Amino acid sequence: MRCEDCRKALSARLDGEAEPVSPDEHLATCAACQEWFAGAERLRRALLLRPAPPVPDLTAAILERTPAPSGEGWGLRIALAVVAIAQLGLAFAQLLGTAGGHGGIHFDHESGAWNLAVGIGLLAAVLRPKTAAGQLPLLTGFVGVLLVLSAGDLAAGTVTLSRLATHVLVVLGLALLYAVHRGHRDRGTPIPAATGGDRTTAGSTVDAPVAKRPRPRGFRRQAHGRHAA
C-alpha cells in the first residue's frame, strides 16, 4: 500500500466516512504515516475544541424591533374609543341644536364641526395608533387655547361650569391620545442598552417618530457597534 492511499483512508476515518481500503496494516509499519495520522488527529481535535467565533447576541435587539401584536395596547385604545364616541355625541348634539346655543347658530355649527373632527381623529387613533402622533400638535393647540379662553369666560361669567364640563372630554381625549402614542412608540423603540455600546443615537432614537426609524438603519447601527467594540 502506498502512503498516499493509507492517508486517504485515514482521512476518511477521521471524517467518519467509509474507508476505501483498510490503512491499519500499512500504518503499523510506516513511521511517516503514523506521524501524519497523529498530526491530523491533533488538528481535528483543535478544530473541534476551538470555541465558535463570537457573534453578537441580537435576540433582544430583534425582539425590540419586532412590531407588537395588534392586540397590544387595547386598554388605552378602548378608553380612547369611549372618549371619541362621547366627543362625537357632543358634536352631533351641537350640530343638531340640542345643546344650548351660545353666540348664534353658526358658532354652534362651527364648534360642532370641530368636535366632530376631534372625535373622528380620536377614533382614527383607536384603529391606527400611529396616527396619534400626527394629531398631537393640532389637538394640543386646540385644548391649550380652549382652556385659556374658558378660564377667561369663566372669570367674566359668560360661561357656566356645566358648559365647561363638556371640555373635559377633549382634555381626556388628548391625554389618552398621548398615552396611546407613547405606548405605540415605546413598543417600536429599541432599548439603547440592548444594542450594546451604542453611544451616538440613544437620545435621538427615542425621540424619532416611528416612521423615521426604518430597519436598515438599525442594522447599520449594529455594524457600527461591532466595529467600535
Contact residues for Zn ion, defined by CB under 5 A: 3, 30, 32-33
Cell numbers for 150, please give them. 374658558
Q: What are phi and psi of 132, to 5 degrees?
A: -60, -40
Q: Which is nearer to Zn ion, 6 or 118 (CB)?
A: 6
Contacts 24+ apart (CB under 8 A), 132-138: 132/177, 132/178, 132/180, 132/181, 132/184, 133/181, 133/184, 133/185, 133/209, 133/210, 135/177, 136/174, 136/177, 136/178, 136/181
Burial bucket for residue 190 (CB in 10 Å: 0-12, 13-18, 19+) = buried
Q: Which is nearer to Zn ion, 3 or 85 (CB)?
A: 3
For the bound state, the minimum distance from the C-beta of residue 45 to Zn ion, rounded and expressed in Å, comes to 22
For the bound state, the minimum distance from the C-beta of residue 5 to Zn ion, rounded and expressed in Å, comes to 9
E strands in the chain: none
Q: Which is nearer to Zn ion, 34 or 222 (CB)?
A: 34
User: 73-105 in b/e burial notation, b at 16+ Cβ within 10 A?
Assistant: beebbebbbebbebbbebbebbbeeebeeeeee
Q: Which is nearer to Zn ion, 33 or 139 (CB)?
A: 33
For the bound state, the minimum distance from the C-beta of residue 3 to Zn ion, rounded and expressed in Å, comes to 3
For the bound state, the minimum distance from the C-beta of residue 38 to Zn ion, rounded and expressed in Å, comes to 13
Interatomic CA distance for residues 208 and 189, integer angstroms: 9
For the bound state, the minimum distance from the C-beta of residue 8 to Zn ion, rounded and expressed in Å, comes to 11
Q: Which is nearer to Zn ion, 3 or 147 (CB)?
A: 3
For the bound state, the minimum distance from the C-beta of residue 62 to Zn ion, rounded and expressed in Å, comes to 53
Q: Which is nearer to Zn ion, 3 or 117 (CB)?
A: 3
